[in-house]
Amino acid sequence: MSKIERVEVFVASPGRTFVTLRITTSDGVTGLGDATLNGRELAVASYLRDHVAPLLIGRDPARIEDMWQYLYKGAYWRRGPVTMTAIAAVDTALWDIKGKTAGLPVYQLLGGRSRDGVLVYSHASGTDIPSLLDDVERCLELGYKAVRAQAAVPDVGGTYGVRKGKVYEPAATELPDEQPWDTEAYLGFAPTYLEAVRERFGFGFHLLHDVHHRLTPIEAARFGKSVEGCRLFWMEDPTPAENQESFRLIRRHTTTPVAVGEVMNSVWDVQHLITEQLIDYVRTTVVHAGGITHLRRIFDLAALYQVRTGSHGATDLSPVSMAAAVHVDIAVPNFGIQEYMGHPDETAEVFRTGVTFANGMLHPSDEPGLGVEYDEKAAERFPYQRRYLPVARRLDGSVHDW
Count CA atoms within 13 Å of residue 43 on its CB side: 10
**Bridge partner list, 363:** 356
Residue 160 among the catalytic residues: yes
Catalytic residue among 212, 294, 327, 400: 212
State which amino acid sits at residue 306. Answer: Q
Sign of CA dihedral 305, 106, 285, 76: positive
Residues 6+ apart with CB under 8 A from 191: 223, 226, 227, 230
Largest CA distance in the chain: 65
Catalytic residue among 160, 193, 281, 340: 160
Cβ atoms within 10 Å of 174's Cβ, excluding its own: 9
By 3-state DSSP, what share of the chain in percent is helix, strand and coil, each rounded to 5? 35, 20, 45
Residue 209 among the catalytic residues: no
Instruction: Provide the pairing of β-strand 308-309 with 338-339.
Output: unpaired
Q: Return d(Cα 26, Cα 382) in angstroms, integer.
A: 30
State which amino acid sits at residue 152. Answer: A
Alpha-carbon Rg for the chain, nearest whole angstrom, is: 21
Helices 246-253 and 217-226 sit at what angle, rounded to 10 degrees? 20
Q: Return d(Cα 305, Cα 361) in angstroms, integer.
A: 25
Closest residue by Cα to residue 137 from 124, 119, 121 = 124
Listing DSSP states for 341-383 in one string gives ----HHHHHHEEE--EEETTEEE---SSBT-EEE-HHHHTTS-
Beta strands in 28-110 (DSSP E): 30-34
Residues 6+ apart with CB under 8 A from 341: 122, 123, 167, 168, 313, 314, 315
Q: Return d(Cα 147, Cα 83) in angstroms, integer.
A: 33
Q: Could you give the C-alpha distances from 105 to 50, 63, 100, 234, in angstroms and in order?
A: 31, 18, 8, 31
Residues marked active site are found at: 160, 212
